[in-house]
Every structure is written in structure tokens, then in C-alpha cells.
Amino acid sequence: MYKVLLTERIDKTGIDILSKVAQVDIAPDPSEKTIVSMVGDYDAMIIRATLLTEPMLAAGKKLKVVGRHGVGTDNLDIPAATRHGILLLNTPGANAGSVAEYTVGALLYLFKRFAEADRMLRRGDFNQPGSLTGLLTKLGFENRVVEGRTIGLAGFGAIARRVAKICIHGFDMKVLAYDPYVSEEAMNALGVQKVASVKKMAPLVDALTIHVPKTPETVNLINSEIFSAMKPTAVLVNAARGGIVNEADLVEALKNRSIAAAATDVYDQEPPPMDHPLFALDNMLMTPHIGAASDGAMQNMASYVARGVVDVLEGRTPQFVVNRELLKKDG
């Protein structure tokens, strides 16, 4: 019987799939020291947020495959795994619905200014004579409609396509997108207009949402130059990865009202330090990387990665391979 090591617990859906062909063990903790001491006896390993390092891979003398429970690959040492001949898998699309819902929910939150309205009511600002409409005007409060606005998508993968569908069919929005790897024809077929760069898209949109992976090319993709080009009424939503948006530049843009508001679910450092300047801003929504943390997404990611691992162990070609050059070598 095969042996599979989980660095962190995954949903029972995935464990049940693995248990049909393998002994499944969960590491007592995901530290490099613990994994290095255990992994030598295992045919496969599944990780979530754990950083996959060269020492772990070198210690995995029997490892055929490492599955990433999630989409992002920035915690994987891909070159090292490839050198050791270990296939890397991930789960693209498994959390697309959940993260798309988060993105649109954050967009509505920012446009409707729910947090400000809640604070105003709690401190008694509405306990004044006069019409509600007049009071809102006096307080300088208005929320904005989403319907008919223009949204820009940085990246056009599975999550962005879900966002586009919701925005087009739910809110009659105009959708622009930047993605050098997706053709204009493919975007047009979904009712989306392709734009040559984020910089060119920035001044055209009422909302900018981030959907690119974190790579050397996308680090600091959203920076002071982009914020300066955006409308002062525009908002930003990032549920992709920390480091894609330059946090220092975002703080300045929000302080100076270069943009109206922002929401982020991801950070350069996770968790962010409690003295992070973003915490001091009232036009900032911050959440603790929960975009993909829905029941459906967790079940999908667990089942996708488990099926991929079983495919490798039983000699089949898995669907989602990160280092596909190993497949060509084997073929």
C-alpha cells in the first residue's frame, strides 16, 4: 500500500479518496525539521501553506509527487522538485467560485460604504432631526451604484472569468481585462474587452481587481504609477497574492485619496503585523486570507489534489501538473 503524508489536514473528501489506495498520515506540525524527519518513508505528500523546500525534497527518497492544495505555486521550490524528478500538482479552478464571490462581495462593500454607514449609526449620527436624505447630505455620505460601472481585471484566469460573468450578467457592467496569455478573441467571446496593459486600463475603470499569480513579473505590478492613473473615485480589490500590490504605495494612495478605497485578503507578510499602517485607514477593508476558505472550495481543493496524487501513484497522467517538463521527459 502507498503512503501519503499531509503536512496539514485537508477536507475529509480528499482523505477518503486517498485512503482507498494509501495509508494517509498527518504530520504533527508542518515545520521543515519535522517534514524532513518523516518524508523519507512516503510515496507522496500534500501541502497547503507549507513552504516546500530543497531539504524536504532531498529527504523524500521515495517521493513521486507533491500535491499543492490550492492554486498558487509561490510556496513551491519548482526547480528543486524538477531536479529531483518529483511531479508537482496544484488545483486550478477549485476555489474559483469562492474567490470570485469574495471579490464581488468586497466590491459591493466598498461601493456601498457599509463600514462607514455602520459606524455612523453606532455613534448616533442619525439621531438628529430632519429627513434622512437631508441628514445623509449633511454628513457627506452617499453610496454608489455598481450597475453600469466599468471594472478592470488584472489577469483573466478561472477566478477572473467568474467575476466577469457575475459583473456582466448581474450588474450590467462593462468589463475590461489585461492578460498577455489570453487572446482578444477568447475575451470577446465572454463579453470582455482586452486591454494592452494595466497602466492603460487604470484610468478607464471604476474598480480594479487582481487575479494574477505571484511571479517575478507580477511583483509590485500595482504600484504608485497605477494608483496615480486611476480615478479618485475608483476602488481596488486584491484576493490574489501579497506582493502583487505594493503595500507602501497603496497606503499613500489611500491616505492621499488618489483612490477612494481598497480591500485586500492577502499581504506581503501573513499574518500582517498589528502595527501595519493599513490598519489605521478607514477606507481599507482587510480580511485574513479567507477568499478560498469556503466549505465548497475546501472540498474541491481536497478532492482535486487527492485525485491527482492517486493518478500519479497508479501510473496515470494527472490533469494539473506544475512542472510539465517531467511528463515530456517520461514520455
Active site residues: 241, 270, 289
Q: Which three cell numbers stand for residue 297?
A: 472550495
| Own/partner long-range contacts of 59-63 (Cβ < 8 Å, ≥24 apart) | 59/35, 60/84, 60/86, 63/39
Amino acid (one-letter) located at 129:
P
- Element of type H or E holding 47: strand 44-47
| Own/partner long-range contacts of 174-179 (Cβ < 8 Å, ≥24 apart) | 174/148, 174/149, 174/150, 175/150, 175/151, 176/150, 176/151, 176/152, 176/201, 176/204, 176/205, 177/152, 177/153, 177/201, 178/152, 178/153, 178/154, 179/153, 179/154, 179/155, 179/212
Q: Which three cell numbers stand for residue 32?
A: 521543515
Residues ≥6 apart with Cβ < 8 Å to 255: 281
Q: Decide: 173 and 146 in contact? Cβ < 8 Å.
A: yes
Could you tell me where the beta strands, DSSP code E, fall in 114-172?
150-154
67 in helix, strand or coil? strand
